[in-house]
Amino acid sequence: MIAAFPGEIVDAFPYRLPFRSPFATSRVTHTVRNGLIVRIRTSDGVGVGEASPPPSLGVRAVLDAIAALRDGGALPPWVRFGLDTARLDLQGRATGRTIATLLDPRARSVVRVNATIGSTEPRIVAEDGARARAAGFLTVKVKVAVGSLADDVCRVTALREAVGPSVGIRIDANQGWTADEAIAALRQLVAFDIEYVEQPTTAEPATLARVRANVGVRIAVDEAVTGPDAVRDLIAACAADIFVIKPARVGGFAPAREIAALAGSAGLAVVITSTIDTSIGVCAALHLAASLEVSPLACGLATGPLLSGDLVRAPLVARGGVMALPEGPGLGLSLDDDLLGRWSAT
């Protein structure tokens, strides 16, 4: 036990999972995923959730999260999401319902997903894109703003040639461009029939709005989506076409669903993604996506293959470009103690 809330005992299990191969973004290249699993025990049963920080924050953030749980400090949003997940998992197990149907009884059982390509080397990007197409994915995402614009063009060219004209391509700049750089880059990359560009610049609404007004590519916001108030500002500024919602970034299911409702009311689309978590965190985001009133665009949940292992015996797998909710109440998944021990960071 590391913490106690009224009627609850909380345990935390830090893990360390290597990436299968380096995962590059405009800001950092990741080689290992440091994360945290939480378990809540009450008189009604046990529930689990993932409380992992963004990969860029590393092990220090995991240790700080454990300290905050232990000492009663302010909890970062990803910890609140993990506890939220564990409580809903427990409630679902106790009542025989899935998390998705606890959130909305009309929830879907499958969610469309995109493939995520971790490499930025054109040959590997093309090979991974071809494999994704063969596996039935209709949408793939690749990083840009890594290296020069010529590098980006070469990378996206290789991907488009590999997947053909019928597969959607999303590009993700992770705030790697200035507004002028983004405008110049997107005026070239639009030739590759880009579905959208994710977070081309900083999260400042006026900057994003300027880019959006000057290019022919839809703008998705990710890092800018920190909560409902931020989304209201983005909508007011006409800064985005699509909102990428990470429940771990916004602090749980309720704010994530509120953001989706705000976007829907404005006639804008949403995408639900994980933060490259184990199947526990991915499954929580999958339940969220399945519960939304308006079906999201293909979601960024097929990220398990980026990691070299998992913490459940039957990891979530996308088939034919969709991911099905596991059978069973709550999350529908259970931690594997042997795997938890194997990948433990303690």
Quick one: 90 and 114 in the same domain?
no
- For residue 31, what is the domain's CATH number? 3.30.390.10
Domain check: are 79 and 132 in the same one?
Answer: no
Are 211 and 133 found together in one domain?
yes
pLDDT the model gives residue 313: 87
Do 132 and 49 share a structural domain? no
In a domain, 86, yes or no: yes
Residue 183 has pLDDT above 80, yes or no: yes
Is the pLDDT score of 237 beyond 80? Answer: yes
28 pLDDT tier (thresholds 50, 70, 90): confident
Choosing from 96, 130, 164, the residue where a domain stops is: 96
Residue 91 belongs to what domain range?
3-96
42-89 pLDDT tens trace = 999 999 999 999 998 989 999 999 999 999 989 999 999 999 999 999
The torsion of the CA quartet 101, 106, 112, 116, rounded to 10 degrees, works out to -30
Instruction: Specify whether 167 is located in the same domain as 92.
Output: no
Q: What is the pLDDT of residue 346?
A: 74
In a domain, 346, yes or no: no
Average pLDDT, the chain: 95
How far is it, in rounded angstroms, from Cα 242 to Cα 217?
A: 11
The answer as to whether 165 is a domain residue is yes
| Beta strands at 45-50 and 29-42: parallel, antiparallel or unpaired | antiparallel
Residue 286 placed within a domain: yes
Residue 176 lies in a domain: yes
What are the angstrom distances between the C-alpha of 327 and each of 102, 120, 150, 283? 15, 36, 46, 12
Count the domains in the chain: 2
- Catalytic residue set: 143, 246
Tens digits of per-residue pLDDT, 244-282?
999 999 999 999 999 999 999 999 999 999 999 999 999
Q: Report, as an integer, the average pLDDT of 20-43.
A: 90
Tokens at residue 226, please?
A: 């920190």
Residue 73 and residue 170 share a domain: no
In a domain, 345, yes or no: no
CA distance 147 to 7: 52
Instruction: Report yes or no: 253 and 240 within 8 Å, Cβ to Cβ.
Output: no
Residues 117 and 235 in one domain: yes
Tell me, yes or no, whether 25 lies in a domain. Answer: yes
